[in-house]
Amino acid sequence: MAFAKPLNKENLIEVDNVSLKYHQPSEKIGSLKEFFVRLVRGKLRYKEFWVLNNINLQVKKGESLALIGLNGSGKTTLLKTIAGILEPTKGQIRIGGNIAPLINLGAGFDYESTAKENVFLNGAILGYSKKQMKEKYDSIVEFAELQDKMNIPIKNFSSGMLARLGFAIAVDVEPDILLVDEILSVGDVPFKQKCMKKIQELLSRGTTMIFVSHSMNQVTSLCKKTLWIKDNQMYRYGDSKEVVEEYLEFCKNQGQKVGN
Amino acid sequence: MKKEKQLEKNKQPFKIRFKENSSKFFEQTKKNSYVLKAMVKKNFKAQYRGSILGILWTVLNPLLNMIVLSFVFSNIFGRGIDHYPVYILCGTIIFNILRQITTQSLTCLVSNSGILKKTKVSYSVLPMSNTCTALVNFAFSFIAMLIVMLIVKQPFYWTILLTIVILPAIVMFSLGIGYFLASLYTFFRDIKHIYSVGLTLWQYLTPIFYTASAIGSGIAFKIINLNPMTVYVTAFRDVIKLGVVPSGMDFLIMYAWAFGMLAFGYLVFRLNRRKYILYI
């Protein structure tokens, strides 16, 4: 799916009345025979639910927005819709730049291939040619601090090492829009700090970011604006500090434990 | 909502719209080609990973297979067929294109769900990457066949060049089936088992080990003649082994099947594209 350009030139991302309906069979039908048996009996029922309900968003160039909310409220789904992985049932999304989705680090890693091969494979998936990746290769390796391990098949990597490699590739492509989904929770403390620094550096250079996190410290330090999604709808939108404060209060009442 | 979109689009003059769309298409195609290349490389490396002879197997495999097949079948069907090993090899390497493209495309959406769920990659690239892998394998098998032709002293004809004209038809035909099966398999996982049996049947209904004329004129003969793979295999054998140029009618049939199947398969694949993400 190709996106339309934003109507307002100041905006980089425009989410216009977006709703997304999941249309899943209420019981998993995995075989043809079952499907026909049910079709004949008229029992082919689907459970419908709106995972996103009427979302309106406008993100300006260089702005960073945080998405917060309980598990299953639709944060990642919204992120995936903006990334173009899911298509909205209603509404329209308009994007004015190239996107680097950091939704799951190392999506598309081939575990049998070496780290070096995976850099190029992942680069291709993010839309970069081999030549472009060759230029970036050294700085990726340097950032991931995996110099002596690039010729090892990544099935032998630890999850922390995989995260390093994935983050290094995704950040090095200098995107206009960075979509970050809770990826900073892996990796050791020094690397986490390095990632935060890199993100801040990108932000200061004008990259736009949408950030999903359960760490309220990260939210308030990285993002000016915050959107609280509750029950698949927009619940609060505004200044990070205020929204986060209200959210923490809500969590307290719910008896939920929130990190940091 | 759709109407609004349409109105919005109509406000722009056509020329700009066209320019925008075509540049977007071009950009998308370029990006897809990167993925395509990377995937083909990955597939190819995965095939022979860990083996000592590595890429040499691509030539050795059809060669050894041919030796086994001609050893087993030469006394049953092989009588009366000149250069029987070449006869078998022509059939098997053509049928292998179909086998590789379709069986790999069948599972491609499901087996690449990790990529599809988390990044934005065009779905249609996956069956295409399988096609490219199959083509590379074909090239190596072709070399193996040339070696066999030298060994059994099969004469070479200029018509061998016509392979280039026949090959696209077989590839398009197979890719069409591949698209169709990939789409179906995401919804019904039984297809994998049904298709593997069906493919075996299909192989035996294609004159690979025997000649179509040896079958007589019963119902089997009619089925074999209706089978599009028969046309492809026969045409390929004509240009390689007999030095005969296939008739215009043969080409017409080959390309009618190719375009028809590709259009049908791609249409089914395309129409269901929004649903895949929910099932993989």
Residue A66 sits in which domain range? 11-98+175-254
Decide if A62 is inside a domain: yes
What does the pLDDT profile of chain A (260 residues) look like in tens digits?
A: 457 777 777 888 888 888 888 766 555 666 667 667 766 665 556 667 788 888 888 888 888 899 998 888 888 888 888 888 888 888 888 888 878 777 776 667 888 888 888 888 888 887 788 888 888 899 889 888 888 888 888 888 888 888 888 888 877 777 788 888 877 666 678 888 888 888 888 888 888 989 888 888 888 888 888 999 988 888 889 898 899 999 988 888 887 554 54
Structural domain includes residue B186: yes
Which residues of B are less than 8 Å from A84 in CB distance? 120
- A164 located within any domain: no
Say what the pLDDT of residue A1 is.
46
How far apart CA A260 and CA A36 sit, in angstroms, is 52
B2 lies in some domain: no
Long-range contacts of B116-119 (CB under 8 A, 24+ apart): B116/A85, B116/B276, B116/B277, B116/B280, B117/A85, B117/A104, B117/A107, B117/B277, B117/B280, B118/A85, B118/A101, B118/A103, B118/A104, B118/A107, B118/A108, B119/A83, B119/A85, B119/A101, B119/A103, B119/A107, B119/A108, B119/A125, B119/A126
The enclosing domain of A53 has a CATH number of: 3.40.50.300
| B123, B276 contact by CB (below 8 A) | yes
pLDDT for B139 beyond 80: yes
Contacts of B37 in chain A (CB under 8 A): 124, 130
The ipTM (two decimal places) reads 0.71
Q: Which of B51-60, B120-129, B235-244, B247-256 has the lowest mean pLDDT?
A: B51-60
Percentage above 70 pLDDT, chain B: 90
From chain B, pick out residues whose CB is under 8 angstroms from the CB of A104.
117-118
How many Cβ atoms are within 10 Å of B63's Cβ, its own excluded? 19
B85-113: average pLDDT: 91
A125 to B119: CB separation less than 8 angstroms, yes or no:
yes
CB contacts, 8 Å: A103 with chain B: 118-119
Contacts of A91 in chain B (CB under 8 A): 1
> Considering the domain boundaries, does residue B4 fall inside one?
no
pLDDT at B17 over 60: no
Domain count of the fold of chain A: 1
CB contact under 8 A, A91 and B1: yes
Which amino acid, residue A162?
A: L
What is the pLDDT at residue B14? Answer: 53
Does B10 fall in a domain?
no
pLDDT value of position B1: 46
A164/A147 Cα distance (integer angstroms)? 12
| Structural domain includes residue B1 | no
A31–B120 C-beta distance less than 8 A: no
Average pLDDT, chain B: 84
Tell whether A139 is covered by a domain: no
Test B188 with A125 for CB contact under 8 angstroms.
no
- Within a domain: A221: yes
Domain of B41 in residue numbering reads as 18-279
CB contact under 8 Å between A124 and B5, yes or no, is no
Q: Rounded distance, CA A77 to CA A69, Å?
A: 12
> pTM for the complete prediction?
0.80
Per residue, the 3-state secondary structure of chain A, as one string, reads: CCCECCCCCCEEEEEEEEEEEEEEECCCCCCHHHHHHHHHHCCCCEEEEEEEEEEEEEEECCCEEEEECCCCCCHHHHHHHHHCCCCCCEEEEEECCCEEEECCCCCCCCCCCEHHHHHHHHHHHCCCCHHHHHHHHHHHHHHHCCHHHCCCEHHHCCHHHHHHHHHHHHHHCCCCEEEEECHHHCCCHHHHHHHHHHHHHHHHCCCEEEEECCCHHHHHHHCCEEEEEECCEEEEEEEHHHHHHHHHHHHHHHCCCCCC
Domain count for chain B, please give it.
1
Give the gap in angstroms from C-alpha A96 to the nearest C-alpha of chain B.
Answer: 12
Q: Which residue of A has its CA nearest to B44?
A: A113
B189 contacts A108? CB cut-off 8 A: no
In-domain check, residue B8: no
Task: State residue B24's pLDDT score.
Answer: 65
pLDDT digit string (tens) for B144-169? 889 889 988 889 999 999 999 999 99
pLDDT of residue B160: 92
